[in-house]
Every structure is written in structure tokens, then in C-alpha cells.
């Protein structure tokens, strides 16, 4: 584990803690697509701007001094990385919600499960963090489940159009680069301060884009409540957890947020909207869960057998050389 993968008190994060946070983030993020569908009467880029503004306002009010301290102490490189993360997050939200407006919830959220490949491959290319064999197998199974949902399931009962799918795929591609920008910022004492800055930057960029799109800023009562839910649950809850956990856990574990989001969104869509996944789509959901379980638990036995005699991270080997740290 790298120095960046340590908690604020200096102790390394346990695997169970990382898994628990990823599951919590998945549940929060799963509410995003159904809530966005309830706000479909509003321009999708404006919805994206509003959800980021709500999350940023809450985090800023919760820790204003930490936000100010982070900004005043940040280097030029850190400022650029935070701005870049805001730009990538804005593009991710904008393309996803524009795609969701043109396709079904089932099709959109199953494409989200392709994000693991983007996350892991981006981390591999940018930081040489090579996934283990069982992590590749688990992620591959999860993506196979996604293809089952998308190809055999027929995209659900919604309006499934290729143009919407392509926009969602662009957002999937951008997600990996967004997490890479967050990881490059490294460990910060108050992740909520970083979240407030990133969400604020994204809200400004999306607001400008919505203005030039000619979006109407008049919201109905139902759309306003749905956007408030988007800002508080998937954005403030889910994405803040992801930002917090990204510097501390491996990219392959962060990647499992996407299959978890797919499963949660499909079930919430049944409760909150009129869209229903088919039987074949439910088969795909089970395959996604199997892939997620294998990525998390595939090496559990080997780690337990070898845990007692392992050399602490960063300790010199018997030949006197210090091993390379894995981000």
C-alpha cells in the first residue's frame, strides 16, 4: 500500500473498510438515474449543474475554514488538478444526463458498468498500477453481465436509442480520467474540502453550458425535489465517498462502484418509475454481482494465509533494497 493509501491517523485502511465504503457509494449512486428521470422536464445540463451546486454548498457550509485552508496552501499543480477534476466531473455528469434523456434507465445504467475497464486501464496507463489476475477476472465477469443486460435484455421498456447510449459511453470514458485526477491530488486532511472545490468548479462550468444551451431555469415542484435528491444522495453521498476513498484504495476496488450502481439503479427504477427490467436483464444483474464478489474476495484466502508473515509496506527487503510501492 502506498503512503497515499493511509488514513489521516497514519494507519493503513483495511480491506473491509474500503469494501464497506464502496458498497455505501454504490447504493447512493444507484439513486441517480431514477431521480434524474423524475426531473426529465428540466434540461439535463441544468440538472447536472444544480446537483453539483447543492453538493458544493452543503460541503462548503460544513467546513468553510478547511476549504479556505486547502485553497491557500495548495500548490499551482494542485490547483490545476482540482480544476481539471471539476472539468472532468462536469463533462461526466453532462454527457451521462444528456444520454439518459435519450435512452432507457436500464440501458444507461448497464453501460455505467463498463466504467471499471476505464478506471483500471486509466490507472494502469497513468500510474503503472497493474491489477491482479483475480481482479481482471472479476471485472471481466462484471462487464459480461453488463453486455447480457444490454444485448440480450433489449434495454428495458424505456425509449432505447443508440444516440443516448453513445453519450453515456462518453461519460463512462471520462469517469476513469476524473478518478485519476482525484487520485493525483493524493491524501488531503479533509476530503470534504476537496469535494466542495471540485463540485463548485463543475457547477460553474455546467451552469455556463446550460445558459449557452438556452436552458429554461424555471423548475416544476417535482423536478426541484428530484434535483434536491440528486444533489444530496448520489452527488453529495455517493461521489463524495468515492472522492474520499480513491486515494486510499486500489483502482480495481473503486471500479466496483459502477456495477453496484447498476444493480441499485435497476431496483430503484422499479420503485420510483414505471420502467421495469426484463427477466434476461435480471440474469445480467446476477452476473454483475458475481463478478463484483470475485474481484473483492478472489484473493482472500491467499491474503489470510500470507498475512502473518508479510513484511510491512515500505520496509526494506533482506537484500537492503526498498520494494516499489503500489498505489
**Mean pLDDT, residues 72-101 taken together:** 93
Q: What is the pLDDT of residue 229?
A: 95
Q: What is the dihedral of CA 65, 66, 71, 72, to 10 degrees?
A: 60
> Is the pLDDT assigned to residue 213 strictly greater than 90?
yes
Widest Cα–Cα separation across the chain = 69
Q: What is the pLDDT of residue 5?
A: 41
Q: What is the pLDDT of residue 193?
A: 86
Residue 143: CB atoms within 10 A of its CB come to 20
Cα dist from 95 to 5, 169, 244, 298, whole Å? 31, 8, 23, 34
Q: What is the pLDDT of residue 262?
A: 80
Beta-bridge mates of residue 6? 12
Q: What is the pLDDT of residue 113?
A: 75
| CA within 13 Å, CB half, 86 | 25
Cα gap 325→109, rounded to integer Å: 34
Return the C-alpha cell found at 39.
426531473
CB 243 within 8 A of CB 194: yes
Three state DSSP letters for the chain: CCHHHECCCCCECCHHHHHHHHHHHHHHHHCHHHHHHHCCCCCHHHHHHHHHHHHHHHHHHHCHHHHHHHHHHCCHHHHHHHHHHHHHHHHHHHHHHHHHCCCCHHHHHHHHCCHHHHHHHHHHHHHCCCCCHHHHHHHHHHHHHHHHHHHHCCCCCCCCCHHHHHHHHHHHHHHHHHHHHHHHCCCCCCHHHHHHHHHHHHHHHHHHHHHHCCCCCCCCHHHHHHHHHHHHHHHHHHHHHHHHHCCCCCHHHHCCHHHHHHHHHHHHHHHHCCCCCCHHHHHHHHHHHHHHHHHHHCCHHHHHHHCCCCCCCCCCCCCCCCCCCCC
Cα gap 4→327, rounded to integer Å: 7
> Is the pLDDT assigned to residue 322 strictly greater than 60?
no
pLDDT digits (tens, 9 = 90+) for 294-304: 766 665 544 44
Tell me phi and psi for residue 79, to 5 degrees: -60, -45
pLDDT digits (tens, 9 = 90+) for 95-136: 999 999 988 887 788 788 777 766 667 777 776 667 777 777
pLDDT digits (tens, 9 = 90+) for 149-198: 666 655 444 466 778 888 998 998 898 888 788 777 765 567 788 889 99
Cα gap 264→261, rounded to integer Å: 5
Return the C-alpha cell found at 75.
500548490
> Is the pLDDT assigned to residue 212 strictly greater than 90?
yes
CB 322 within 8 A of CB 316: yes
> Is the pLDDT assigned to residue 309 strictly greater than 90?
no
> Is the pLDDT assigned to residue 238 strictly greater than 80?
yes
Cα gap 149→280, rounded to integer Å: 7
Query: What mean pLDDT value characterizes the chain?
Result: 77
> Is the pLDDT assigned to residue 321 strictly greater than 70?
no
Cα dist from 168 to 58, 176, 238, whole Å? 27, 13, 18
* Pairwise pLDDT comparison (68 vs 129), residue with the higher score: 68
* Pairwise pLDDT comparison (52 vs 281), residue with the higher score: 52
Return the C-alpha cell found at 112.
455505467
Place of cell 453486455: 147
pTM: 0.75
**Mean pLDDT, residues 60-74 taken together:** 91
How much of the chain, in percent, has pLDDT values that exceed 90?
29
Q: What is the pLDDT of residue 100?
A: 92
Q: What is the pLDDT of residue 256?
A: 73
Q: What is the pLDDT of residue 93?
A: 95
Minimum mean pLDDT among 81-90, 212-221, 237-246, 311-320: which range? 311-320
Amino acid at each position: 500500500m502506498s503512503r497515499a493509501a493511509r488514513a489521516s491517523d497514519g494507519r493503513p485502511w483495511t480491506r473491509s473498510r474500503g469494501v464497506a465504503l464502496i458498497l455505501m457509494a454504490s447504493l447512493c449512486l444507484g439513486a441517480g438515474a431514477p431521480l434524474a428521470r423524475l426531473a426529465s422536464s428540466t434540461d439535463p445540463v441544468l440538472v447536472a449543474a444544480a446537483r453539483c451546486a447543492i453538493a458544493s454548498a452543503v460541503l462548503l457550509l460544513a467546513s468553510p475554514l478547511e476549504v479556505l485552508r486547502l485553497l491557500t496552501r495548495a500548490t499551482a499543480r494542485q490547483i490545476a488538478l482540482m480544476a481539471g477534476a471539476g472539468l472532468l466531473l462536469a463533462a461526466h455528469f453532462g454527457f451521462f444526463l444528456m444520454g439518459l434523456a435519450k435512452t432507457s434507465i436500464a440501458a444507461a445504467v448497464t453501460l455505467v458498468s463498463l466504467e471499471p475497464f476505464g478506471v483500471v486501464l486509466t490507472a494502469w496507463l497513468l500510474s503503472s498500477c497493474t491489477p491482479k489476475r483475480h481482479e481482471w477476472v472479476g471485472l471481466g465477469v462484471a462487464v459480461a453481465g453488463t453486455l447480457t443486460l444490454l444485448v440480450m435484455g433489449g434495454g428495458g421498456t424505456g425509449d432505447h436509442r443508440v444516440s443516448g447510449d453513445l453519450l453515456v459511453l462518453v461519460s463512462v470514458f471520462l469517469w476513469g480520467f476524473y478518478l485519476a485526477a482525484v487520485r493525483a491530488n493524493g491524501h488531503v486532511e479533509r476530503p470534504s474540502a476537496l469535494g466542495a472545490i471540485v463540485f463548485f468548479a463543475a457547477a460553474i462550468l455546467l451552469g455556463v453550458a446550460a445558459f449557452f444551451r438556452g436552458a429554461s431555469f424555471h423548475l416544476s415542484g417535482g423536478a426541484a425535489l428530484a434535483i434536491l435528491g440528486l444533489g444530496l444522495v448520489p452527488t453529495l453521498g455517493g461521489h463524495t465517498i468515492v472522492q474520499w476513498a480513491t486515494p486510499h484504495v486500489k483502482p480495481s476496488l473503486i471500479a466496483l462502484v459502477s456495477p453496484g450502481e447498476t444493480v441499485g439503479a435497476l431496483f430503484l427504477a422499479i420503485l420510483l418509475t414505471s420502467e421495469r427490467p426484463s427477466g434476461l436483464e435480471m440474469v445480467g444483474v446476477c452476473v454483475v454481482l458475481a463478478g463484483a464478489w470475485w474481484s473483492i474476495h478472489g484473493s482472500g484466502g491467499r491474503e489470510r494465509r500470507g498475512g502473518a508473515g508479510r513484511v510491512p509496506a515500505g520496509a526494506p527487503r533482506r537484500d537492503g533494497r526498498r520494494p516499489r510501492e503500489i498505489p
